[in-house]
Amino acid sequence: MSAELKAISEGMAALVNSAEGSVVQVDARRRYPASGIVWSEEGVIVTANHVVRRESVQIGLFNGNRLEAQVIGRDPGIDIAVLRADGVGPSDIGWLPEAEMRVGSFVLALGRPEQTLQASFGILGIIGGAWRVPGGGQASSYVRPDLVMYPGFSGGPILGVDGRIVGMATSAFGREGGIALTKSTVGPVVANLIQHGSIRRAYLGVGAQTVMLPASTVEETGQESGVLLNSVEAESPAERGGLVVGDILISLDGEPVRDPGDLALALRGNHADKEVRLQILRGGAPHELLVVLATSEE
C-alpha cells in the first residue's frame, strides 16, 4: 500500500511540475501578488480583475525573470482581466471541457503569489451552469472546488488530474472557498477583450421578466418558461425589429431563453451588430422575427 501511496504522491508532484511554466505571478496591487494563467504563445495572460489594481503590472516567471505587462482589457462584472507580456512563452497545458468534468474528481489549485509555485489539493465539489454573478456579469458555467485557496491564488488555475485546467480561480464573489470560471466563460471574454479592448455586448433594448409558457408550447419546445417583454425602448433594435410589449421571447438563434439571465447571457455572445432570429409568442401564437442587434460597450 505504501508503494501505491508513494506513486500517487509522486504523480501529483509531477502534475504540479508540468504546469510550472503556465502559472505566473501577477504583481499589480499594494498587497501580496496574485497569480495568472498563460493563455497563448503571444504572451496573453488571463487573471482575476480584482487583483489588478494598477495599470503598471509586473509578471513573475518560474525562472525568476520579471516582465512588464500591459493591461489589454477588463471585465469587472465577471472578474476577468487580460494582460500581455512579451517573453512569457507558450502555455504547456490545455483546458478541460465542461462535459468531461465530474463532481468528486481530484483537483489541484495552483498559485504563484511568490516565486515558487504553490498548490492545494481537494475535489471538485460543484459544477454549476449559467449564473448571474454578484458583480453583474453572467457566467455560462463555473465550478466550486472543495479545497483551500490560499492568499494570492486568485487568477491561477484549478488543475484536473489529467493535467488540464478546469477553471480560473477567483475569490471575488464571496462563495465559500472561492469558485473557478470555466473556459466557456473565460474564452469569449478573452476573445472580446483582445479584439476590442473592452467588453462589447449585443443590445436589444427591452425590459423582461420570467413567465411560464402555455402547456402546448412546453410540449413543443421542452422549456417551461420564457421572458415576457414588459418594455420596448423607442428606436431600439427591438422596436425596429417589430417586437412589442407583451411578446414572449422563447429563443434567440435557436438557443432557449428561459429567463432574463438567459437573455443577458445570449447578448454577451458574438451577436453585436448582427441579425438574429427570435422565436416569440404573440397572443399565444408562435412567430419568428429577424432583428439586427446593436452594440453596447462597457
**131, pLDDT greater than 90:** no
- Torsion angles phi and psi, residue 169, rounded to 5: -75, 145
CATH architecture of the domain with range 1-198? Beta Barrel (2.40)
Q: Domain spans of the chain?
A: 1-198, 201-297
**273, pLDDT greater than 90:** no
What pLDDT does 44 receive? 96
Q: What is the pLDDT of residues 170-185, one digit of tens each?
A: 999 865 568 999 999 9
**Selected residue with higher pLDDT from 29 and 220:** 29
Q: Which three cell numbers stand for residue 179?
A: 469558485
**20, pLDDT greater than 80:** yes
**150, pLDDT greater than 90:** yes
CA–CA distance, 267 with 77 (Å, rounded to integer): 14
pLDDT > 90 in the chain, percent: 66
Closest CA to 210 of 265, 259, 279, 252: 259
Q: Can you give the C-alpha Rg of the chain in angstroms? A: 22
**261, pLDDT greater than 80:** no
Average pLDDT over residues 195-208: 84
CA–CA distance, 164 with 160 (Å, rounded to integer): 6
- Concatenating the DSSP letter of every residue in 16-41 gives HHHTGGGEEEEE-SSSS-EEEEE--T
Share the mean pLDDT of the chain. Answer: 90
Q: What is the value of pTM for the model shown?
A: 0.76
- Concatenating the DSSP letter of every residue in 222-290 gives S-SEEEEEEEE-TTSHHHHTT--TT-EEEEETTEE--SHHHHHHHTTSS-TTSEEEEEEEETTEEEEEE
What pLDDT does 100 receive? 94
* Encoded amino acid at 123, one letter: I
CA–CA distance, 108 with 99 (Å, rounded to integer): 19
Q: What is the pLDDT of residues 22-71, one digit of tens each?
A: 999 999 998 889 999 999 989 999 999 999 999 899 999 999 999 999 99
At the fourth CATH level, which superfamily is domain 201-297?
PDZ domain (2.30.42.10)
